[in-house]
Amino acid sequence: MAYQFPPNVEELVKRQMASGKYSSEDELLKDALEALQVEDQELRAIEEALDDLAGGDEGVPLDEAFSSLRAKYDIPADA
């Protein structure tokens, strides 16, 4: 599928295609849209957490949050 991009976007597309990471503009566009979707989900989660905090939720202690992330991503505590 051929896309008509403004010149500044066309330059970004050309640079990404030149990197060799993408075999087509369709693949690049799909990856970009998926990244945007993830970013939107993360932003919504942050906004919800801020709303909870403003509503009086004390959240999770920082050391507990780091421990949870280390466990989730299998990262040693000394890393």
Domain locations in the chain as residue ranges: 7-72
In angstroms, the CA 42 to CA 56 distance is 21
Residue 1's pLDDT is 66
Instruction: Work out the average pLDDT over 46-69.
Output: 93
b/e 34-44 (16+ beta carbons within 10 angstroms → b): eeeeeeeeeee
Residue count (the chain): 79
What are 4-51's pLDDT values in tens digits?
999 999 999 999 999 999 999 999 999 999 999 999 999 999 999 999
Q: Please check the confidence at residue 74 and state whether its pLDDT lies above 70.
A: yes
b/e 7-19 (16+ beta carbons within 10 angstroms → b): eeeeeebeebeee
